[in-house]
Chains A and B, each alone.
Chain A
Amino acid sequence: MTHGAPGARWFVRERSVTSPVVIFDGIEKSYGQTVALRGVSFDVNGSEIFGLLGPNGAGKSTLIRILMDIIRADRGRVMVFGEPRRREHLDRLGYLPEERGLYTKLAVIDVMTYFGALKGLSRAEARRRSLAWLERVELPHVASWKVDRLSKGMSQKVQIASILLSDPEVCVLDEPTTGLDPVNVQLVQDLLLERRRNGRTTILSTHHMNQVEALCDRVALINQGQLMVYGGVDEVRRHYSLPEVRVHARGPLPQVAAVARVTEEGAGSWRLLLSNGTPPHEVLAALVASGATVDRFEPLLAPMEDIFVRVVREGRA
């Protein structure tokens, strides 16, 4: 399958280790004269946390809503679990939308039970799991509360628990940590990592690039309805990085070939810009061979934040 729209300047080929559970194939969507998606194609593999990135209005939410069959694509197809997406698949998919809420006049447990039951659980099972999930998100005392009594953070965690309690095989979370304090952000991140350990797939749409680096296996970056970047997080970061390494060594650093520039950072730390095409391990071998005592050697990767900004700006230009 070809990934990336014609004209996309940045293209990263993924290294798939597991079979895809979601395939977007040439998705196009317009709202009147406004084109939201232009032939977007990529896969999401099983048991991974997949970052769906892009600036506001890039088309992420449209793509997610097409996956969830809330709106229909003008062209293209969506494959889920190896077959064309059908309404029956919805019980195996979870979705936490960006614009979200709960029934404010009802009890928390009733709302959670309803959302669980809509995903195919019996009412009794949905209720049991709701109580268990409230424990998981450290809110067991709010079960009988009316939703409008919850704080914003509590409501956020109840919403996440409501979606996850049916244990969906693929779950799309759109900005799940917005408005949460750092402790609760960590709590949610732990839940996502646990899902991955349990073989579940999560599509994470977020603007928090530190979360992408910490959690995501692979990413797709959409800008102006086109797929601009797609692949493993490390691969993407390497692709956008300068050929630089950081070396922590004792004593002076010997000069070696294939290093174009050396910058001393102090406290035994140097930053080395490698000549084009030089693999970092060759530089390490050369340093050791020249008598250097290397304590630490690491390739320097560009932060996702910088890549995001660079891709979006170039897209606008």
Chain B
Amino acid sequence: MSRWQKIKTVATFEFLSAVKRPGYLIATFGMPLFMAAYGGVVAIPAYYAEKGSRAPTVFGVVDEADVLRLSGDLNAGSRSQIPEDMRQALEAAGQAQALDRAIASDNFVFRPLATADEARAALADRRLKGFFVIPKDYMQEGLLDSYSPDSFNVTGSDSREALADLLRQRLVERQVDPALSARILKPIQRTRRFAVTPTGEIRDGGSAASIVRFALPLIFMVLFLLSVLMTSGYLMQGTATEKENKVVDVLLASANPDQILAGKLLGLGGAGLLQIAVWLTMLMGTGLGIVPMLMSTRVDVPWLALSIAIPFFVVAFLFFGGLMLGTGSLGTNMREAQQLAMVWSLTAAVPLMMMAVLIREPNGTIAKVMTWIPFTAGPVVVLRASNDATLLAWWEIAGSLLVLLVATWIALRVGARLFRIGLLSAGARPSLMEIVRQARLSA
């Protein structure tokens, strides 16, 4: 029986054993349903709260300085909480209105009142959310009096901002013509963005175009980390089960430790990846609108990054899996195994933790160094290729993949030796000296 047939046999067995477990099925299909149910429970009160927030919030204004000159209730209008870049991206995708509906916005109405006493009486009756007094010396001092109920109030600063906008508008309108007034109040109404390639070509550089360039490495890193963490759990559990069930000798009398290790990585790794794929599919299918957004937007797809993402993902996954399984198998129980393997989980998370630095300087020294380190190569190369493929040399991609492949081969060999030692050591965890001695013997 060939080496690959053994690996395939182990992988098939491990995969089928894992996916048939009730725990796996519950986690795979139950988790999204649970999240949906949880989301529903949270969303219902949030919906009514949001509906309530759309009703205008009335604040009184006692304008002793006669700056606003209000003749009746003035609606200050909605103040969008969506950042400009995101709004542009969503507008390009035709999704701005949908998001406007989904995200709460303020709606303040300012009501003129003659005296502070009248306003205080209205607030005491809770006919107002609060009121402001603009004193006579406002123009000299810039001082404003704010009154609110003696209860918890979160709309104070927002209402002050809305009043400040209104004050600014009225003060400027008196002095200059409407066009200049509009520019002073909002110097940049919109920004058109362009990107210039190294060949001088001008491309759409808007947020909508670059959203995939940003999202791809982020998705890669999150999925990678999730896969490593999910699969490590299955790997630890599988090895602990074999120790408990005393099938270790039968397995080792039938296949090499490295064949068992590779089969477990493929089988249990496949089960872990399948679980994540199911979750992703269900998430995308439940209306985040990612697909329609991408379809309706002129996005700049980073094809190079997409094409190298899969090989880098698979090799880096095997690299970490080999290390985690080898190290984890030295543990005498599940808890100890997970503690031993924890160091690799943390290492796998390093690129995600350094995401801000890497995005700011995708071709800086840190990113270039991390390209050649097997622990970080996968996510960093994908990020650099996604950002600007022209600044990433082909030899950097090939060299990085080669380094990762060699490191993976070493990790699997070392992992297999540790795996054999771990499997054979029932009871106490072997000492470092014993591990070195056994590793030399099994060479």
Contact = CB atoms under 8 A, between A and B. Distances in A.
A106 B17 CA distance: 8
B251 interface: yes
A74 B12 CA distance: 35
Contacts of B250: 95-97, 100, 115, 162-163
Contact of B245 (A72, A95, A104): A104
Given A91-B1, A105-B21, A120-B1, A70 B253 contact: yes
B57 interface: no
Interface residues of A, number: 34
B13 interface: yes
A95 B13 contact: no
Interface string A99-138: 1111111100010001101111001000000000000000
B247 interface: yes
A173 B256 CA distance: 21
A101 B245 contact: yes
B244 to A, nearest CB: 8
B429 interface: no
Contacts, number: 74
Interface size class of B (residues with CB under 8 A): 20 to 34
Interface string B14-37: 001100010000000000000000
Given A99-B246, A106-B17, A118 B254 contact: yes
Nearest to A29: B441
A103 B241 contact: yes
Given A90-B255, A95-B253, A118 B245 contact: no
A119 B5 CA distance: 10
Contacts of A74: 441
Contacts of A120: 1, 5
Q: Which of B12, B253, B255, B424 has the most CB of A within 10 A?
A: B253
B254 A90 contact: yes
A119 B254 contact: yes
Contacts of B442: 72
Interface string B230-246: 00000000000110011
A77 B12 CA distance: 35
A204 interface: no
A101 B246 contact: yes
Interface in B298-336: none
Contacts of A103: 17, 241-242, 245, 247
A68 B245 contact: no
Contact of B9 (A95, A99, A114): A114
B241 A95 contact: no
A64 to B, nearest CB: 9
Contacts of B17: 103, 106, 110
B251 A102 contact: no
Nearest to A126: B9
Contacts of A162: 250
Contact of B249 (A97, A105, A110): A97
Given A71-B424, A120-B1, A102 B252 contact: no
A15 interface: no
Nearest to A162: B250
Interface of A: 32, 65, 68-72, 74, 87, 90-91, 93-97, 99-106, 110, 114-115, 117-120, 123, 162-163
21 contacts: A68-B253, A69-B253, A70-B252, A72-B441, A72-B442, A90-B254, A91-B1, A91-B254, A94-B253, A95-B249, A95-B250, A95-B253, A99-B249, A100-B246, A101-B247, A103-B245, A103-B247, A110-B17, A117-B9, A118-B6, A118-B255
Interface of B: 1, 5-6, 9-10, 12-13, 16-17, 21, 241-242, 245-247, 249-256, 424, 426, 434, 441-442
Given A102-B245, A103-B241, 9 more contacts: A32-B434, A65-B249, A68-B252, A68-B253, A72-B442, A74-B441, A90-B254, A101-B245, A115-B254
